[in-house]
Amino acid sequence: MKRLYLFITVIFLPIIIIRAQNDLYEYIAINEVLMWISNNGNGSHDPRTDGSGFYWPGGINATKSSIFEDGLVWGGIVNGQIRVNGNTYRQGLQTGIILPNGEPADPLNPKYKIWRSRINWELLPPGPERDRYEFDYLNWPIDIGAPWEDVDNDGIYTPGIDNPDYIGDEIIYYVANDLDSVRSTFTYGSPPIGLEFQTLIYGYESNIELKDVVFKKYKIINKSGTDIDSMYLSYWADNDLGFASDDFIGFDSTLSLAYTYNADNNDDGVYGTPPPAVGHMIVQGPIIQGQSTDSALYNYQWIYGYKNLKISSSGPNFKNDPSLPGDPPHGIYNGTIQFYNLMKGLTNFGDSLINPHTNQPTTWAITGDPYFQAGWYEGPGWPGGPQSADRRYHLNCGPFNMAPADTQEIVFAIFMAQGNSNIHSVYELKQKGLFIQHFYGNTFITEVKDDPNTMYDFSLNQNYPNPFNPTTKIEYSIGASEFIELKVFDILGREIATLVNEQKSVGKHRIKFDASSLTSGVYFYRLKAGDFIQSKKMLIIK
């Protein structure tokens, strides 16, 4: 066991596991991944065993694990003092919102449980699982920030008409805060700041390209009433890729990706040959002021004059070598100082890393490519480097400032890939990372805040998901204000539904199509805007 757990009271329930009264654990298993999470901020850790909690492949039936534990860590300067808190081997959050008076809400209020919903939950067989989904659907907590879709456009959430916003095929939501001073100092010795974290976890079953991926979105609100300067967000992970003691790690700055892979082509006792690779990637970073020509993704919209931060430095963690970054101590303020140094791409003690190829200081460690055997990478790419062993890493993103009431977002993808060798799995992981970045940047857009200088073409995108049952979303772009017709036809050309029949403004638009009344089969949807006409095919499978 890697640590002594702070909370020892464990009550096993069918789905939810309770620790320390108000710490709940849930899992998501909508695709090939089974991943545990907690509303105290803990990630990828199985409360049943106090061990690895990210399993792949097999979804709900998965038994092979690749991540021991992971979570978000944050640090910044408040009134001249460095503060760091977060979720590594100890957890710095308690469940619940921060009230308008700046105090934490009662963490024992059942509203601050972990909420869960999925598309087509009503098609599940009668039983406790379906009852759980129905309860969460009917009581979806929009008043504490849970995302929802205003189907009837009346601005009021009406159960049975409006829906949770199914960003993925299954979504999990919880809200937490950092105001428990005991937890905060127990992590890295800092007092709380006053941050609220609205966390959304989601995955896809309907998109086969995303069957090995889980997304985590953090919405962070500064409710402290105080400026936070030079703030960093780091996603920390202790990846145990099957057998933990034969792992290497690496980073890809162009993808904002950190990954773990096997040092040889056989993972003893777990994944065997060939072993896969596992990675964490920033797909949407915090926003900072940019040029007028810049744009940033925020709240599923492109906003102009801002840009998203990417990974700012790579953060490896090694054991038993003081010249390399290691694990900061818990429970004392020196842990805060050390972790903040790590967030800046330095060693624990503020020294620069030295690139073994150039002998020059750098904040970018192990960013070479083991598949193409280029640059600084573990093994042959690091002469005299450490042997394979249990590794940790963290992706650093910053710095940025947060004024009182400011809100920031950061989104991570956690995913697996398997090639025909240990290093080919790294190649496949990066290829999947490219797809995820493209998918995220082109799918999660509900509106574009238009710049008068922005030009749009007329276009009709492929519906998503496709195939689908019973709902899908169709996105299209309008290059000039026109009267728009968007219609659905069956394979014989008979009109089935009219989705849009009105004047539309320039920009991107998206609409939801509900095919509950239709049978399985091939259908076509057609966009007509003036002289522009385009059609695409979609498939309903029931």
Instruction: Report the CATH number at residue 498.
Output: 2.60.40.1930
Closest CA to 82 of 325, 341, 327: 341
Please check whether residues 327 and 361 belong to one and the same domain.
yes
Residue type, position 321, single letter: D
Cα 452 to Cα 376, 400, 507: the distances in Å are 45, 28, 11
CA 3 – CA 114 distance, rounded (Å):
25
* pLDDT at 133 (0 to 100): 95
Residues 430, 482, single domain; the answer is: no
427-464 burial, b for 16+ CB within 10 Å, e for fewer? bbbbebbeebbebbeeebeeebeeeeeeeeebebbebb
Decide if 35 is inside a domain: yes
Domain boundary among 443, 471, 503: 443
542, 469 contact by CB (below 8 A): yes
Residue with tokens 């017709």: 485
Both structure tokens of 84: 């760091």
Q: Which of 157-166, 263-272, 355-364, 456-465 has the lowest mean pLDDT?
A: 456-465
For residue 434, being part of any structural domain is answered with yes
**Both 193 and 304 in a single domain?**
yes
Structural domain includes residue 160: no
Q: How far apart are CA 281 and CA 395, in angstroms?
A: 8
Considering only CA atoms, which of 209, 118, 139 is closest in space to residue 440?
209
Residue 151 lies in a domain: no
Cβ atoms within 10 Å, residue 118: 21
Q: Is-above-0.85 flag for pTM?
A: no
The reported pLDDT for the residue numbered 53 is 97
Cα–Cα nearest to 426, from 241, 272, 214, 288: 241
Residue 15 inside a domain? The answer is yes
506 and 372 inside one domain: no
The Cα–Cα gap between 462 and 140 comes to 30
One domain, residues 107 and 36: yes
Query: Do 270 and 381 belong together in one domain?
Result: yes
Tell me, yes or no, whether 401 and 318 share the same domain. yes
Last residue of a domain, one of 415, 443, 471: 443
Q: Does a structural domain hold residue 2?
A: no
The per-residue pLDDT for range 44-97, each reduced to its tens digit, is 999 999 999 999 999 999 999 999 999 999 999 999 999 999 999 999 999 999
The C-alpha atoms of residue 361 and residue 478 are separated, in whole angstroms, by: 50
For residue 372 the two structure tokens come to: 């193409």
| Mean pLDDT score of the chain | 90
* Amino acid 339: pLDDT: 98
Residue range(s) defining the domain that contains residue 465? 459-540
Residue-wise pLDDT tens digits, 145-199: 999 988 887 888 888 888 899 989 999 999 999 999 999 999 999 999 999 999 9
The distance of Cα 379 from the centroid of its chain, to the nearest Å, equals: 30
Q: How confident is the model at residue 336 (pLDDT cuts 50, 70, 90)?
A: very high
The per-residue DSSP string of 274-304 comes to: S--EEEEEEEEPPEEE--TT-EEEETTEEEE
Can you give the pLDDT at residue 7? 35
Write down the pLDDT at residue 20: 59
Establish if 279 belongs to a structural domain.
yes
Shared domain check, 173 and 67: yes
- Residues ≥6 apart with Cβ < 8 Å to 38: 19, 23, 24, 25, 26, 45, 47, 91, 114
Structural domain count of the chain: 2
Amino acid at 197: F
Residues 506 and 395 grouped into a single domain: no
Phi-psi region of 322 (alpha: psi -120 to 50; beta: other; left: phi over 0): alpha
Reported as a pLDDT band with limits 50, 70 and 90, residue 414 is very high
Q: How far apart are CA 413 and CA 409, in angstroms?
A: 14
Which of the residue ranges 17-26, 283-292, 452-461 would you say has the lowest mean pLDDT? 452-461
Mean pLDDT, residues 504-523? 85
Query: Phi then psi for 426, rounded to 5 degrees?
Result: -65, -45
Transcribe 150-195 into DSSP letters.
-TTSSSS--BTTBEE--SSSEEEEEEEES--HHHHHHHHSPPP--E
Q: What is the pLDDT of residues 154-164, one digit of tens each?
A: 888 888 888 89
> What per-residue confidence (pLDDT) applies to 14?
41
**Of 15, 77, 7, which is closest to residue 42 (Cα–Cα)?**
7
Query: Is residue 479 classed exposed, middle or buried when 0-12, 13-18 and 19+ CB atoms within 10 A define those classes?
Result: middle
Same domain membership, residue 256 and residue 394? yes
Statement to judge: residues 381 and 296 lie in one domain: yes
Is residue 513 in some structural domain? Answer: yes
Whether 508 and 373 map to the same domain: the answer is: no
Query: In the chain, what's the furthest Cα-to-Cα distance?
Result: 72
Q: Look-up: residue for tokens 């599940």? A: 124
End residue of a domain, out of 408, 443, 478: 443
- Pick from 107-121, 274-288, 415-429, 493-507: least confident: 493-507
Helix (H) or strand (E) holding 331: none
Measured torsion, CA atoms of residues 334, 336, 342, 347, in degrees rounded to the nearest 10: -10
Report the SS3 class of residue 131.
Answer: helix
